[in-house]
Chain A
């Protein structure tokens, strides 16, 4: 058949004759557009998630406070806010922004390629993620409101609408949203892994890859393994809810005074196994890109090579690998076999080894150097600080005997907010300030950036450090009210109220501390763009700063990589970028 008589091809050719169709198709699958799309999704989610956390904090400190328009906050409302805050922040901010957002925006340039391996699959991932967010937010407006089971949705209460408002339609919407999200993340990870495996430019061997790429690579591998298991768990929970099976349900179950009979002898513990097999790798998905970026940014502003570069590649992979083997440490108090608890405890404490190696590498890289304390460098150092303070409580919680007491207290909330939420967000800020010249063609204001950094650091510690103390004083998680309770524990909880008010005030301060950031973005918008000739304002050595890599001209020759990243002279004044063919060092224009 000749092309002229080929109906499918003729139709496509006719359609493509319209310029609008052509440009739309092209831009919708462009990784830069997709990256900004993911960042927009994260921005929406982080704004809603932060508002929810402020409402929860205000309610904890002043229980009689009424939310304007909405009215009094009932315990079930509080639990719904907990669930939605966790789900939005974990999935739609900490998974989407560092991995899919900055991954799409920067990864191809760091690999020296012009496109991703599967642009259409990539675009499908974005739209499915947007659909997942819409589905999740729809749960607020479902009859009964949003689900109240927490972001982990433990059965048996997540399996029946009898468990409370929001566990009917709201819970179904939650399941649908997370299932869509799992598919979307898997698609985006397949694209990312294939791009890293197949589309590295000439000379870019595995050892020469920047540690950011290693972070994205490991996180994508973890996503593929973990989200498939989550999808299976969601399917089984759906069957338990609607098809009368009992995978996660015991034969008999008393919920809200009603005796429920199920077939078989399922166990809620089984859901915990499946969920945390996903859930723990998930937190590494959130933090690994930040770990990689911190290494690169610290090296660049210290003008030093990353200390023990190959070891840092190995520890990234090792953290990922161990991350798959530690899920049981979330289940010490859930009725896990004590022998299994010991095994999980050992594997969890073992993660301290590669994590400590990372910290030592960061310290050794800056040690004795004269780091330029620019805003991205400050956020990278802030990341290190939070990684240590949040991480140090990890080995404490990894011991079953200590976790027994601490697990259901705010101590755990303090731990994961410092190590995952705050460190993750500092990674995102570091990325935004560092890559701003590439993203917006403008450098963000340094004074505003520094104001943003110091206030955020103060707000972060002031909010989350005291939670350790309220936790040690036995403040339980998921309690909507700490005052006016009966029994001897009431006095203990009552005594934490002054600290509660401090935490709430700090949380409000922390949110207000983000105003300089948004002001900075807004002002940058109005400022003229950087000089196009000055493509490398930080004098960085990785490929995304090479001329014409991020915005290549069609006639450009494909770039070639000649060496690994972070080559500087001892004085730090000269540097040797990955793309420079000559062996002579470029001199910094001061």
Chain B
């Protein structure tokens, strides 16, 4: 009944950029990968295929960005293994390797659990954005059930993320109390380098979460809100998975 249930006024002005008049992506199972606009989707020209196209473009961009970012960590980890294995021969022909493993503060286990939990809450928020019944309500302008629920879960994610960073701070503090600093040993170089570069990435993630929360509150188009939440959460997941790998490397790889 398109004549009786029309999109809210504000969305109708956006006809020119092709986001309007088409249902938001709502397929629950695939998290937005469904067709969205069921009618005639494939016959529209590229760039005019509605919200689904926007979200997939944002995801592809994020995918390329994360590809580059992972290469950054691949380079760091290669240097980690090379440095760990390198040494020199002293005057008595003994092979001297100055690598002393850095004892990892046990609070990192708790931090890891917090980060894992935050990924779960982030995923709940992301899926909430695509729940069909609620998304359609929101798109019709009948309240904001989707954004409201996602905002709650994203806020929990934000809190857990800050908790993780605070925990990392405590870990650095504990190491400093034991006089283990960046300059102490090749292995401590890497402990600080890896945890700090990861923390910087997580700070970017926290900034993205704050932007996504702001978008949930202020953005006028549902598909914009979906794009912000979806890309932020995917970024968060990758940083979480990366941390698991880095943590295992620091805990067992030294």
Q: Write the residues of chain A forming the contact surface with B, with a CB cutoff of 8 angstroms.
A: 1, 3, 6-9, 113-114, 117-118, 121, 186, 189-191, 193-194, 197-202, 224-225, 227-229, 231-233, 235-236, 239, 243-247, 250-251, 263-267, 270, 274, 277, 554, 557-558, 560
Contact in complex: A190, B83 (CB < 8 Å) = no
In angstroms, Cα B22 to Cα A195, docked, is: 23
Instruction: Report B78 CB to chain A, min CB distance, Å.
Output: 8
How many angstroms between the C-alpha atoms of A135 and B130 in the bound complex?
A: 45
B99 x A264 contact (CB < 8 A):
yes
Contact of B64 among A9, A194, A227, A558 (CB under 8 A): A194
B61 pairs with A194, CB closer than 8 A: yes
Q: List 10 A-B contacts (CB under 8 A).
A: A8-B217, A114-B47, A194-B64, A197-B60, A198-B56, A199-B46, A225-B71, A227-B68, A243-B183, A264-B98
Q: Which residues of B contact A263 (CB under 8 A)?
A: 98, 183-186, 189
Q: Cα distance A277–B183 when bound, in Å? A: 27
Q: How far is the CA of A189 from the CA of B65 in the complex (A)?
A: 9
In the bound assembly, the distance between CA atoms of A244 and B185 in angstroms comes to: 10
Contact of A247 among B61, B64, B83, B144 (CB under 8 A): B83
Residue of B whose beta carbon sits closest to that of A231:
B72
Q: In the complex, what residue of chain B is closest to A114 when comparing beta carbons?
A: B47
Most chain A beta carbons < 10 A, residue from B72, B74, B87, B197:
B72
Inter-chain contacts of A554 with B (CB < 8 A): 16
- What's the nearest-Cβ distance from chain A to residue B139, in Å? 15
Nearest chain B CB to A410 CB, angstrom units: 32
Q: At the interface, yes or no: B251 with Cβ under 8 Å from chain A?
A: no
Interface of B, secondary structure class, is helix
A-B pair number, CB within 8 angstroms: 137
Size category of the B interface is: 35 or more
Please give, as numbers and ranges, the residues of chain B lying within 8 Å of A198 by CB-CB distance.
46, 53, 56-57, 60
Distance between Cα atoms of A455 and B147 in the complex (Å): 66
Cα distance A236–B83 in the bound complex, in angstroms? 12
Nearest 3 Cβ contacts at the A-B interface: A232-B75, A264-B186, A228-B71
Q: Report chain B residues within 8 Å CB of A266.
A: 83, 86, 186
The CB with the most chain B CB atoms within 10 A, among A9, A193, A251, A264, is that of A264
Q: Given A117-B61, A227-B68, A558-B45, decide whether A3 and B220 contact each other with a Cβ distance below 8 A.
A: yes
Instruction: Tell me how far the C-beta of B245 lies from the nearest C-beta in chain A, rounded to whole angstroms.
Output: 16
Closest chain-B Cβ to A160's Cβ sits at a distance in Å of 16
Q: Are B72 and A229 in contact (CB under 8 A)?
A: yes
Name the B residues within 8 Å of A114 (CB-CB): 47
A residues in contact with B183, CB < 8 Å:
243-245, 263
Cα A246 to Cα B187 in complex, Å, equals: 11
